[in-house]
Amino acid sequence: MKRIIVFFCVFLLHQLYLQAQHETFADHWEFIGIAVEEPGYTIWGTSPVMGNDGKVHLFVARWPCELRVDPGWRTHSEIAHYVSESPEGPFVFSDVALKGTGEGKGVSEAPSNPAIHKIESWDQFAPHNPAIHKVDDLYVLLYIGNDGIEKHPSNQCIGMAVSSSLNGPWERVGKDGLILSPPQNEKYWNCKASNGVNNPAFIQHPDGGFFLYFKSEKARMGLAVAENLEGPYVQMPFPVTVNDRNIEDGYAFMYKGKFALLTTDNHGMIERGGGLLWTSDDGIHFDTYEKGFHHINDYTEFKMSDVAVHYGPTGRSYAKFERPQVLLIDGEPAYLYAPSGNNIYGGDCTVSYILRFNSK
């Protein structure tokens, strides 16, 4: 009997070891529920930061959900601020952190009507896809913007605003907040890119300076580096990811001593509609990746027939996360916040979701 028990224990340990060997970053997430739901608003990018007050603050792209998701995000997006006592919510609206600088503060008809559209600034419409970070005593809010949809998406650029308080006021850095535009050098991989430069991912380099990752031509990730927070940011002449299919929405952080980028996997590098965790020793060459997150269906039970599809194809067998953003606690991934074009609860507007990282 003792031999049987010992054999069984050894067998069980071996199975657990094999299982652990095949676990990916995606297997550590546990679904918690809704992060942000705001009646009347489409909710998109949901970027977290821990405040000096011990509360968790989310910076969220939103616009009236009476508009279609596309082109609503291009013309009417604003960045709103939500707060909670806990990473798991509930999150309560605090204020609007950033609007467009143009007529109507981002809600004018001008971007879709060239006859009345006058370019006043590079980000006069639709601040979108925020990424919030703390650097020393400053909070840093990165975002994308555009000056009108007749040239969109090639006119997308990346801006930065800073504040000593998460409640603002937010001041655009430099002359107008612009820190990165598509390059004009014809030898660069994304010269005059058809989708501009967009969806910033930001990290303070362990040895000093700052890395700014972004999506550009053919949905690959690029990199611009700066010695100082406000720039100038100098773009590398080559993409940093080796993807041969569309990825986007990177989030940058340090993980197990390596640079990491958590992105979507739109067309199936591993699984269509899932996520990818890219890792790199130098933060410049990302040629190693594993599954970063699964479909929403793999984390919680619901019927696809009950899902409200606000963005993306109907009739799909799964619900897809978008724009993943990670809350680090003590330098380790703790929570994931992600919106979706699919409201799994069947609501009139989109919501964003919370997942908790289980390191065991």
pLDDT tens over the chain, length 360 residues: 555 554 444 444 333 333 445 799 999 999 999 999 999 999 999 999 999 999 999 999 999 999 999 999 999 999 999 999 999 999 999 999 999 987 444 444 555 565 556 788 999 999 999 999 999 999 999 999 999 988 999 999 999 999 999 999 999 999 999 999 999 999 999 999 999 999 999 999 999 999 999 999 999 999 999 999 999 999 999 999 999 999 999 999 999 999 999 999 999 999 999 999 999 999 999 999 999 999 999 999 999 999 999 999 999 999 999 999 999 999 999 999 999 999 999 999 999 999 999 986
Question: What is the model's pTM?
Answer: 0.91
Token couple for 233? 């940011």
Backbone angles phi, psi at 316, to 5 degrees: -75, 150
8 Å CB contact between 198 and 222: no
Token couple for 359? 């390191």
Token couple for 179? 């820190």
Token couple for 74? 């291009």
8 Å CB contact between 123 and 104: no
Residue 28 sits at the vertex; the CA angle it makes with 329 and 58, to the nearest 5 degrees, is 40
The DSSP secondary-structure symbol of 275 reads E
Backbone angles phi, psi at 47, to 5 degrees: -105, 125
The whole-angstrom separation of Cα 296 and Cα 27 is 12
The whole-angstrom separation of Cα 58 and Cα 9 is 46
Return the SS3 of 96: strand
Query: For 220-224, which contacts have Cβ atoms below 8 Å and span 24 or more sequence positions?
Result: 220/189, 220/247, 221/247, 221/250, 221/261, 221/263, 221/278, 221/286, 222/189, 222/190, 222/197, 223/283, 223/284, 224/180
**Contacts for 232 with CB less than 8 Å, ≥ 6 apart:** 179, 226
Give domain limits for the chain. 31-357
Return the SS3 of 74: helix
The pLDDT value recorded for residue 12 is 40
Instruction: Please list, residue by residue across 226-242, b when 16 or more beta carbons sit within 10 angstroms of its beta carbon and e when fewer do.
Output: beebebebebeeebbbe
Question: Cβ of 181: how many Cβ atoms within 10 Å?
Answer: 16
The whole-angstrom separation of Cα 209 and Cα 268 is 34
Length of the chain: 360
Token couple for 102? 């143009």
Q: How far apart are the first and last CA of the chain?
A: 31
- The gap from C-alpha 164 to its chain's centroid, in whole angstroms, comes to 23
The DSSP secondary-structure symbol of 136 reads T
The whole-angstrom separation of Cα 276 and Cα 288 is 10
**Contacts for 354 with CB less than 8 Å, ≥ 6 apart:** 31, 32, 33, 34, 35, 87, 88, 89, 335, 336, 337
Which CATH class for the 31-357 domain? mainly beta
